[in-house]
Structures are given as C-alpha cells and as structure tokens.
Chain A
Amino acid sequence: MSKVMELREALKRYVRDGSVLCLGGISLCRRPMAATYEIIRLGIRDLHLIDIAPGMPQILLALAGSASVVEGCWHGYELFGHPYMWRNLVERGPKETGYRFDDESHYMLSLRFVAGWLGVPFIPTYTARGSDLWNPEFDNLWDLRGKRRRVAAKKFAVVENPFKEGELVRLLPAINPDVTIIHAQMAAPDGTTRILGAHFDDFVHAAAADHVIITCEQIVSRDTLAVNPEMNLIPSIYVDAVCQVPYGAHPGSCLGYYDYDPWFLNELVRVTREGEKNPEVFQRWLEEWVLGVEDHEAYLEKLGLRRLLALRADPALGYAPTLPRRLHEMPPPP
C-alpha cells in the first residue's frame, strides 16, 4: 500500500492544534525544515514540541507562535549565533508569553524516547545527578501536569533502587509523541526509510510515536531498499506518510545531498538579533521566506538554482568541500 502523499496533506491529516510533535535530526542537520515551514503556513497552533535534539525548527515554531509547550535541552544555531528572540521569550516567562520551555538534558530526553519505543512507562537513570535539571522547584509545566494530554503527571521521581538498598535512582516518564516528522535521504512508498550517516536517534523518534511522517529527498522503490536492508533504519510499520521533499532540510544539511546554507543561516540569525529590538525585522523575514511563499517548490525557486548548486554535496564526501565557512567574512551568496 502506498503511503505517498503531498506534505500539506500529510500534515493536515496528522498534526492538529495541541499535538505533541517530535522533529527528527539534530541541531542544523537533517531537520524537517520544509515541514516546519508548512506547519507555520497552515497556522497550526499550541504545539507541544519534544525531541532529543531541539534547535532551529523549534525556535522558528516558537517565534512564529505555533508552539506553546516545549520539553527540550538546547536551543541555538551553534557557531552561527545565539538564539535571539527565543531567549527573550523564555526570559519574559510563561505567564506573559504563554510559551513554556522546560529544561532537560540530551540523555534525559533520549531515555524518555527509548522508554516510549519500548512501551514501558518510565526509565531509570544515573545521569545529571547534582544538576538543577533535577531541581524540583524548576518545572515550567507544573500547572499542566495531570491536566494536559501527554504531559507527564510528574517531571521525574526519585526512588530507592528496589534491587540495591540505599541507592537513590531517578525515574523519567516515557514519551510517546502524537506525531514524529523525520527528514530522510530515501524512503519507499510503503514507508521503509533509509538514512545515510549517523541516524541521530531517528529510529527511537519514530518508534515512540503514534504517527510518523517521512519527508525525503527521494522516493525509491521497495525493491531498491530491499537491497542491503540492514541499511534501512525505519521499517514500514511505523510510517504513515511518505512525502518527497527535495532540499527539505534546507537551510540545514542532509548528508550525501547538500550542505548547510551559511548565507541563509547568517541571515536568519541576523533578523532574529535585530528582531530583539524591532520584531518587524523578523516578521518581514517570516513573511518573505515562509508565510508569503506558496509551498516548498516556490521556496526552492526563490532560493535559486545557483544557491542550491553551491550547497550540493560532493558524492564522495557527502558535503560541499569548497563551501565558504568563515562566517564573519562570507562572500555574497550565489
């Protein structure tokens, strides 16, 4: 059975106001950016975002007003700059903004997804002992606990290890997102998904979710992916929709296909930096690159062929080896 559909159709079918949404990839790499833009265009609101490695797409969803609850560990653009505007949102606090960010660590979130994948209710860990991440006073979802769907009744619990007297163990609640969206290099119409390079835990992101949307560079046949099946990360059973979205991780990178776009990322950081004083600057950017753009095809046309070619990966290396990367003195964009 073919699960191939348009990205817009897939999002309308599975992502709703208030959904718990997980976006695969890590930091600026293989993030489902086309899907992120489309969610903003569709005007979906009140999203509860959670994944192991948050960052760029979650920041955009926050600034566009699409997200209101985030369980995350890190928001930024690495060397490109600080998470401007987002940090102001967090500084002003949930009461004023309606936006909540609750801090965890990479591994805490990883384990919660592993528990979600396994279908068990919680998971014990030794991590981050002594950190304020375990400070019971710091819980920005406290008033949603036991009230909002899929917000765990408690942030964590500390119990005595039943198998070792006197040892305290911290327990984390499992995560089962409503929807996980992953950008992959290849998928078959039945949903079988192949990811090249590090998988950034996208198997657990998918296996923990109720529904999975795969956006991919290329749809290939089932028979193609049946050669070397050990290279396939996600089996068809987890997947509900397959959408062919070339350059769907832009401005991030997608190994083997294209590199990150340093011009675009510099610009995104600039408009958010200036947006801290003058929000209009960011709004204009959002209008220009997201809201005012019909769909992903129009976005690619707007970027232009020269830009896309400049980012194209060397097939032997997986990235663009001649890409200018001295961010403070970039040549003009192609």
Chain B
Amino acid sequence: MSGKADYTALEMMVVQASRMIRDGEVVFVGTGLPMIASMLAKYLHAPNAILCCEAGFWDSRFLHIPMTVGDSRWYVGSTWCAGQSYMFSLLQRRRIDLGFLGGAQVDKYGNINSTGVGVQLRDGYYVFGKRFEGSGGAADIASMANRVIIMMKHERRRFVERVDYITSPGWYVWLHDFKDGRGRVRLVPRWELGMWGGPEAVISTMGVMRFDEETKEMYVESYYAELGITPEDIKRNTSFDIKVDEAEPAEPPTERELELLRKQIDPEHIFLRE
C-alpha cells in the first residue's frame, strides 16, 4: 500500500471500530483488534462502555492487554467473573449491545464463515478443503447481539458472493427446510426466523462497508484514502458486485487516537504490529 499516512491499516481499522462504540454500551469482545478498539473508545468518547468476554470477565480494567480468551490479565479490575453459560445467556436475554466478529469469508449479506472453505459431503460426513478454528462463540454473538461489527482483511477470496459455510448468520441466510427434509435450501431474511440484531458494518483493511436499508446488501461507505486506497481497489478486491458510488474518504485517525493506541493501550505491540 502507498499513501501519505503515518499510520497502518490495522490502526485505521481499530480507530474506525472504536468510533462506532457508544457510551454506556455493553460490548462483547474477543481478544485482538475489537478489544483494543473498545479500550480506545473508553479512553475517549465512551468511558462508560462495559467490556465483557466469553470467558466470563465483566468490566475489566486490565493493566496489560490480554492475549488469550480467559487471560489472567482480564481479572484485574473486573467487578464480576463467571463463565461461558453466564455470558452467552446475556446474549440470549438481549442484554449485549454490541459484538465484534471476524472470519475467513464474509458475503454480501454479512454472513461469516470461520469454520472452513470447500465444504462437501464425503462418505456421509462433512469435510472441508481447508479447515479453520471453528465457531467458538461467533454463531451465538452473530445471532443474538443487538448490533454486530465485522472486522476483516480485505481480499477477493474473503469477500465472496456466498460463504461456503455460514458460521455466523448475517441479514439473509440460506436456510435448510427442516419440514421437507434434507438438502432443500431457501434464502430467508433473519427477521423471518424471529432473530433480532444483525451486522451493522464491516471494517476491512481498505474501508468501511455498511448494509443497504432495503436490500441488506453490503456497500462501501468509506475508503482509506490516506493509505492509498481507492473505491476501485475495494471493488477489485471484492468478488461480488459492491456499490461504491456513495463512498467517501474515511476520516483519518487523530493524533490523540494514535498516541493512546501506541503508548497506552498496546505498548507491547502485541496486536498492532505490521
């Protein structure tokens, strides 16, 4: 990438994500960029945001950045700690305002695949051409958080027309018809399944995408102009036809945001290395 920026794409992603967090929200974060984004938001415009994680830590004020789910660093400053069934039940009770997700593939409706690509039935078993880690809590967060933000590397093979496997449901899903037996699929909007929430934005290494109110298809809201990205770059790196005509250059990070990220939040450069 070329451009005049003195910051990286990862830092830009974190800043974009941070700005979407509202004060007072309960944010379900995994480890990695979402956690850093949430911390940044807490330092700036959302001091009352509450961070929680699947391992069970609540409202942590960690001094060092946790590196794993359940990292002991979460413990410091937490006002409660429990376990997975407690945390995921908050999702099912619609008490989690915002969840973050990533994955290997995302499609135009915001379905995410973090299970594997090239799924096929072989000898009656499902197998993958390439297998990934799996859902973990992703399917739970995608289906039951009130808002979801997706963070992904922007590559053609990752932004696809239809994901090979829906780990985490987006706005429209290919649903199996339980009544009529195996193998019959139809495209259904999530609200027809009685679901709430849904993906609000996709923050990639190239720009920020949103979903059209009517069609629920992904479009480009902004692109990282200072990092040398153009709307055409995003189009070229997206394998479905994505609307870019409303796209605007993204608001760059402020000095304060970058300073907090580099000196305060991830001084060990565990996550924000290039």
Using known A-B contacts A27-B70, A132-B166, A259-B72, determine if residue A140 contacts B143 with beta carbons closer than 8 Å: no
Say yes or no: A143 contacts B144, CB within 8 Å.
Answer: no
Say yes or no: A127 contacts B133, CB within 8 Å.
Answer: no
Which residue from B72, B123, B142, B183 sits with its C-beta under 8 Å from A319? B72
> Taking the complex as formed, is A28 at the interface, i.e. its CB lies under 8 A from any CB of chain B?
yes
**How far, in whole Å, are A65 and B37 apart by their CA atoms in the complex?**
41
Say yes or no: B69 contacts A127, CB within 8 Å.
Answer: no
Which residue from A90, A113, A127, A140 sits with its C-beta under 8 Å from B144? A127
Say yes or no: A94 contacts B84, CB within 8 Å.
Answer: no
Question: In the complex, what's the smallest C-beta–C-beta distance from A310 to chain B, in angstroms?
Answer: 15
Say yes or no: B131 contacts A87, CB within 8 Å.
Answer: yes
Kindly list chain B residues whose C-beta atoms are within 8 Å of the C-beta of A94.
123, 125
Identify which of B4-12, B19-27, B50-58, B151-159 touches chain A.
Answer: B50-58
> Taking the complex as formed, is A200 at the interface, i.e. its CB lies under 8 A from any CB of chain B?
yes
Contact with A along B54-76 (1 / 0, CB 8 A): 11110000011001111111111
Which residue from B57, B133, B273 sits with its C-beta under 8 Å from A83? B133
- B residues contacting A by CB (< 8 A) are 31-32, 54-57, 63-64, 67-76, 81-86, 88-89, 91-92, 115-116, 119, 121-140, 142-144, 165-169, 173, 175-176, 178, 182-183, 188, 190, 193-195, 268-270, 273
**How many residue pairs at the A-B interface have CB separations less than 8 Å?**
247
> Taking the complex as formed, is A183 at the interface, i.e. its CB lies under 8 A from any CB of chain B?
no
Which 8 A-B pairs give the minimum distances between C-beta atoms?
Answer: A130-B169, A201-B83, A29-B70, A74-B136, A130-B173, A107-B88, A198-B56, A110-B85
Question: In the complex, what's the smallest C-beta–C-beta distance from A212 to chain B, in angstroms?
Answer: 16
Which residue from A130, A131, A253, A328 sits with its C-beta under 8 Å from B273? A328
Which residue from A95, A134, A313 sits with its C-beta under 8 Å from B125? A95
Say yes or no: B133 contacts A74, CB within 8 Å.
Answer: yes
Say yes or no: B178 contacts A103, CB within 8 Å.
Answer: no
**How far, in whole Å, are A25 and B84 apart by their CA atoms in the complex?**
10
CB-nearest residue of chain B relative to A158? B178
**How far, in whole Å, are A321 and B63 apart by their CA atoms in the complex?**
9
Which residue from B55, B81, B85 sits with its C-beta under 8 Å from A114? B85
> Taking the complex as formed, is A221 at the interface, i.e. its CB lies under 8 A from any CB of chain B?
no
Say yes or no: B70 contacts A198, CB within 8 Å.
Answer: yes
Question: In the complex, what's the smallest C-beta–C-beta distance from A326 to chain B, in angstroms?
Answer: 6
Kindly list chain A residues whose C-beta atoms are within 8 Å of the C-beta of B182.
136-137
Say yes or no: A127 contacts B70, CB within 8 Å.
Answer: no
Kindly list chain A residues whose C-beta atoms are within 8 Å of the C-beta of B183.
137
Contact with B along A280-309 (1 / 0, CB 8 A): 000000000000000000000000000000
Say yes or no: A138 contacts B126, CB within 8 Å.
Answer: yes
Say yes or no: A318 contacts B140, CB within 8 Å.
Answer: no
Using known A-B contacts A198-B81, A199-B56, determine if residue A131 contacts B73 with beta carbons closer than 8 Å: no
Say yes or no: B69 contacts A53, CB within 8 Å.
Answer: yes
**How far, in whole Å, are A288 and B247 apart by their CA atoms in the complex?**
56
Question: In the complex, what's the smallest C-beta–C-beta distance from A271 to chain B, in angstroms?
Answer: 19
> Taking the complex as formed, is A43 at the interface, i.e. its CB lies under 8 A from any CB of chain B?
no
